[in-house]
Structure 1
Amino acid sequence: MNKVLLILDGLQVPGYLMDAAANIGKMANCHIHAIFLNKAPIDPEYNYFFPNDLILVDNPLRGENIAAENSEIISATIQTFKDVSDLAGLSYTIDERNDYSLDELLELTAFSDLLLADAKSNFYEYLLSDLLTDSHCPVLLTKQTLEAPGKLVLAYDGSVSSIYAMRMFTYLFPQWKDVPLQVVYVSDHDITTLPEEKQVLPWLSLHYSTVETKVITGNRVQELANIVNADTSPKVVIMGAYGRKALSRLFHKSLSKAVIDTSNAAAFITHV
């Protein structure tokens, strides 16, 4: 991995996201391209229920004042990012723009190895789900510093896309080969083995020192959430095929949402 595209809400950047970028950049010795997005200010008078009342008070709220405050916050946030990155000895670029459209961000993903973002954020004009659906590179959403995952969880559904996601994760994070990997397959009928188990397990064993499987019957979304929340160790959940076909989008949207909303696990998502 040589380049990570880091997308941040310039006004609300959690410390764990900066630490995650620093930890990945240092571990992989890769370049970080950081974009601090900023919502264009809207004149508060247009959002206030009683705009005439603003005349009776010396109301200082104006679009230009909000823009100035936002600029100060973003400048302070960027300085914090510089401090964290310099301390970690990272190679990084801070983008001069903060008004990228969704299409422009998606174009940047075509020239990145990984998109890293906060699992809790949405970016005003578009949602994280928009980036997940159409990103041209794998996406890693996190609520943790990613310093040392305690477990990797592959949400395996028997498809080529889930194997592709695992392959991409393996290529991008070879440093985590000694982190225990759990392959989870949830079926709506009783089975005892993984699909293509004779192919999957030997292949995974070449990349990871510890591989265990869990085959269970039930609702895929609920069962995966239960497994991820079974203990408090930091985890990365790996899943594929978020977008492209409508049915695939619906299922994988609910799957990733369950992981993100109900746990502190990071979610690694990509599609063929």
Structure 2
Amino acid sequence: MKKISAAFDGLKFSEGTLAYAIKVAESSKAMLSGVFLESFLYHSYKIIDMVGSQGISQAKMNHLLAGDEQRRQHSVAIFDEACKNAHISYTTHRDKSFALQELLKESVYSDLVLIGADETISHFEEERPTQFIRDLLAETQSPVLIVPRIYKEIEKVVLLYDGKPSSVYAIKMFNYMMPWLRSKETEIISVTDPKETQELPDESLIKEFITCHYPDAVYSMLKGDAEDEIVTYLKTIKKNVLVVTGAYKRGQVSRWFKSSMADLLMKELNIPLFIAHNK
């Protein structure tokens, strides 16, 4: 049995993250851990909300704290009920320290971390990718599945491949974590420099590997700048697609999957994104 950790902000609970988490856990026959991040620095109210006629009001503060606790408990209850209705094995964690560090610790003991693309674990709304997501991806100890706010059934899988170990590793981890998607339409995308011969890197080896897991996969060779060509191509796909990418950190050998590439995918495409990098 695999373990999937789905991260939630109990004050801004994401139904989309819940739906994806339930689907992945059901299909993978995995245990689902609902990780409710409750940083002691983060509340739904602002300082001005605590001010009374005599300054900071303890009574107002207690009322606001109780309201936050009620909302967080309600979010946990929604998660519990959904897992029971789906008849999956589950547990809940309410991590109450520094949210990022707690989630990174969870990633050490998880096969996969699942989180909404818009999560900030703060008052603030940010454009994708949020700083919280960027920091998580830079240091995670497990693959991460970034999901959109609204759930859509996955109809197609795209594997990005550049001939480097990091991109193959991502495909391996995806195959391990989500084997139930092998039956979906699968496409391998690679990009070459316009000045170079248009051929798949290590073609015989990658095709041999892919055939073992995705025998009906098709291959698409693009020419040009990888970032531009991949995003443009993915936008033409009409089906609900999930994209698998390799290394996220700067300094990795792959020039495709440095942080700017993953950032661009999150910014431009509102789709599930499976990211894994070998360290």
Q: Distance in 2 between matches of 1:186 and 1:47?
A: 53
Structure 2 counterpart of 1:109? 107
Q: Partners in 2 of 1:250 and 1:123 — Cα distance? A: 29
How far has the Cα of 1:86 moved from its partner? 0.7
Secondary structure of the corresponding residue to residue 213 of structure 2: coil
Which of 50, 62, 65 is the matching residue for 1:64? 62
Q: Distance in 2 between matches of 1:250 and 1:217?
A: 13
User: Which of 238, 241, 251 is equivalent to 1:245?
Assistant: 251
Shift of 1:46: 5.8
Matched with 2:13 is 13
Q: Quick check: 2:167–2:246 contact (8 Å CA) kept in 1?
A: yes
CA RMSD of aligned residues (A): 3.0
What TM-score does the superposition give when structure 1 sets the normalisation length?
0.87
Partner residue in 2 for 1:262: 268
- 2:49 and 2:254 map into 1 onto residues whose CA distance is 38
Aligned length: 268
Map 1:119-130 → 2, pairs under 5 A: 119-124=117-122, 127-130=132-135
The aligned residue for residue 242 of structure 2 is 236
CA drift at 1:244: 5.9
Query: How far apart are the structure 1 equivalents of 2:17 and 2:181?
Result: 19
Q: Which amino acid aligns with 1:36?
A: F
Distance 1:249 1:96, change over 3 A: farther
Match of 2:95, SS state, is: coil
Contact kept? 1:165, 1:239, Cα under 8 Å:
yes
Pairing of 1:1-272 with structure 2 (within 5 A): 2-39=2-39, 40-41=42-43, 44-45=46-47, 55=53, 62-124=60-122, 127-143=132-148, 148-190=153-195, 191-243=197-249, 245=251, 252-272=258-278
Are residues 94 and 66 of structure 1, via their aligned partners in 2, closer, same or farther at CA, if it must alter by over 3 Å?
same
Contact in 1 for aligned 2:145/2:272 (Cα 8 Å): yes
Distance 2:271 2:243 in 1: 7
User: Aligned partners of 1:175, 1:144: CA distance in 2, in Å?
Assistant: 22
Unaligned runs of 5+ in 2: 124-130
State the partner residue of 2:128: none
Moved more, 118-127 or 69-78: 118-127
Partner Cα distance (1:246, 1:127) in 2: 21
